[in-house]
Structure 1
């Protein structure tokens, strides 16, 4: 599903979608007019709001209507996208990153997702269209979603991490295709692609490594409503993220090996061409000297009146060339 297409149907207000979790894996939609005075009508209900971070009215709404402290509201709508997590009383505040799958985007163009939850309410905010929240909503709409705020957070984290896998698989497939290409004929085409893969790997590693620390903090220091099974799920996501980071390192090393091989082959090809030119120059240097000497316009040149003199010179040149080739072969220059 294209997230941009879905978001376009939601209007341009701060609320992208709202759901009230029923505690049994399902959820019902909730509109903007119901949010401000919302209270749980049954045990286990949780309010989830997914908002546009760059909408002008978001921060006043967070502070005045949803009761979020001003410093926290400023953090949630800020452009600071480095992954981190902190605790504010019984509320969990986090900034996470996901892969940008929007049209025209590159894998290293990450999207940040701000998150706030006090166990009863869950608020997520993003600037660019993002598919991860849609995936989790689809689980709720099918009746197979998380049952509380903690498991909803872990589901969002899991989807963010899992989506890295497709990018890594795509890069590895591209490396495999590049390895099968003809290096000598398509060198100029292959090298920029390898450089782009290495750049993507470095960017992904730089952007996703801090997320490992943020998730580790959540698993250890999240509030009490974040239950033990939620911490175990986060720990599994951390392990998966660690494997993906290792896979990124492997992809980067594979691209580096392929790049080194390309350069080595190119250098060897250039050296061979230079070597052959040197051999050719070595063969024709004495011949050029001889023919130049025989072509000077001075009196007394031998063979001027001999009709066979030209062929004698040709024979001498061929003899010199044959001798040179024999010596080059003997000295293993050829």
Structure 2
């Protein structure tokens, strides 16, 4: 029996048993009202109630299933299991392959781990793959349990893109808060390690590299003529793209602010170093004549003036104090101190 049969209404009948052979991490059928229905032998995919199968390609049986199934075009089978991917969107006659990158936001930790999410989507089926755990997937499953999940494949694409963007935005907000704290520390002239700035800068660069291509992907999908994406869905995708463009601009601004923070720290360090050198120079000027006299009088030779007098030591101390006072007055007069 064939795995896919197409009728006049362009609805495909997909064998549920064949889907379960992939050993999916999660699978369901969208009920068209925001909830998920467990798959059974009587389940039939449709535009209003599509299948969603989520796979972990770290499992060899899943990889074997992807390589042998006829549910996806041969050209993209490798794309669904390739470990290192860049963000991309490839349009096929039967569906669309999308590769997105996101972050698993971890509060108060940087850098947040980067995850890659791949999915092939048609008008009645979604096949998604991953290797790492993805927070956005867990959130989408939670939405389905609460009855506020996607109602069709277009809504699934939008909600998934929105959740991935939200995780990126949370990561950026965390970075932005750290930058604000760094700026406050600089204003209070508190010096901190360059490693802290380096971690923040690294996360900003990673987020920018992640957001820039995906912004273009959402624009591309929203402008392509895809039958299962209506004008309202296109506008929502365009809004996601606009939001990501806004965050790219904010990241560029934050990178400039970090550069300014580093310049101020360098300025503080240079000023602090100059003050120390200046203070040491002042002490050198003050104690140079004293050192000269003590060295001269410390020579074990006869003929040192008044060496036999009882007041000679006290007189020497008074002379040294007078020399110190004269040196300080001279430095003040020259405005060197």
**TM-score relative to the length of structure 1:** 0.85
How far is the alpha carbon of 1:128 from its aligned partner? 0.6
Distance 1:66 1:131, change over 3 A: farther
Question: Are residue 28 (structure 1) and residue 37 (structure 2) matched?
Answer: yes
Q: Which residue of 2 aligns with 1:4?
A: none
Contact 2:108–2:174 (CA<8 Å) still a contact in 1? no
Per the alignment, residue 213 of structure 1 pairs with: 216
- Paired with 1:127 and 1:105, the residues of 2 have a C-alpha distance of 22
Task: Give the corresponding residue for 1:97.
Answer: 101
Does the alignment pair 1:326 with 2:335? no
Residue 44 of structure 2: aligned partner:
39
Tell me the SS of whatever aligns to 1:203. Answer: helix
Asked if residue 315 in structure 1 is aligned to residue 318 in structure 2, the reply is yes
Q: Which segments of 5 or more consecutive residues in structure 1 lack a partner in the other structure?
A: 1-12
Secondary structure of the structure 2 residue equivalent to 1:18: strand
Cα distance per residue 1:248-271 (max 9 Å; x no partner): 233333333333333322332222
Structure 1 residues 273 and 106 mapped into 2: Cα distance closer, same or farther (>3 Å)?
A: closer
**Alpha-carbon contact 2:186-2:265 (below 8 Å) kept:** no
More RCO (CA 8 Å, sep 6+): 1
1:256 corresponds in structure 2 to 259
Matches within 5 A, 1:161-180: 161-180=165-184
Equivalent position SS for 1:333:
coil
Aligned with 2:72 (options 45, 68, 74): 68
Instruction: Say whether the 8 Å CA contact 1:101–1:107 is kept in structure 2.
Output: no
Q: Alignment partner of 2:233: what SS?
A: helix
1:181 deviates by 5.0
User: 1:242, 1:179 → 2: CA distance?
Assistant: 25
Deviation at 1:135, TM superposition (A): 1.9
- Structure 1's 64 and 114: CA in aligned 2 closer, same or farther, altered over 3 A? same
Question: Structure 1 residues 187 and 143, CA, compared in 2 at 3 Å: closer, same or farther?
Answer: same
Give the structure 1 partner of residue 116 of structure 2: 112
Counterpart selection for 1:235 from 225, 233, 238: 238
**TM-superposed deviation, 1:171:** 2.0
The alpha carbon displacement at 1:316 in A equals: 2.3
Q: Would you say how many aligned residue pairs link Structure 1 and Structure 2?
A: 318
2:159 — aligned with what?
155
- Secondary structure of 1:15's match? coil
Quickly say closer, same or farther: Cα 1:47–1:179, change in 2 above 3 A: same
Partner of 1:7: none
RMSD, aligned CA = 2.9
Cα gap change, 1:228/1:194 in structure 2, threshold over 3 Å: closer, same or farther? same
Separation in 2, partners of 1:213, 1:100: 22
CA distance in structure 2 between the aligned counterparts of 1:104 and 1:291, rounded to whole angstroms: 60
The answer to whether the 8 Å contact 1:49/1:124 transfers is: yes
Could you list the per-position Cα deviations for residues 5-49 of structure 1 after superposition, in whole angstroms to 9, with x for gaps in the alignment?
xxxxxxxx7401112122233330226xx4xx9633x66221111
The range that moved more, 254-263 or 272-281, is: 254-263
Rounded Cα–Cα distance in structure 1 between residues aligned with 2:314 and 2:110: 70
Contact in 2 for aligned 1:17/1:29 (Cα 8 Å)? no
After the TM superposition, which of the residue ranges 172-181 and 206-215 deviates more from structure 2? Answer: 172-181
Displacement, 1:178?
4.1
Q: Given that residues 183 and 262 in structure 1 are in contact (C-alpha distance below 8 angstroms), is that contact kept between their aligned partners in structure 2?
A: no
Task: Give the TM-score taking structure 2 as reference length.
Answer: 0.84
Map of 2:7 onto structure 1? none
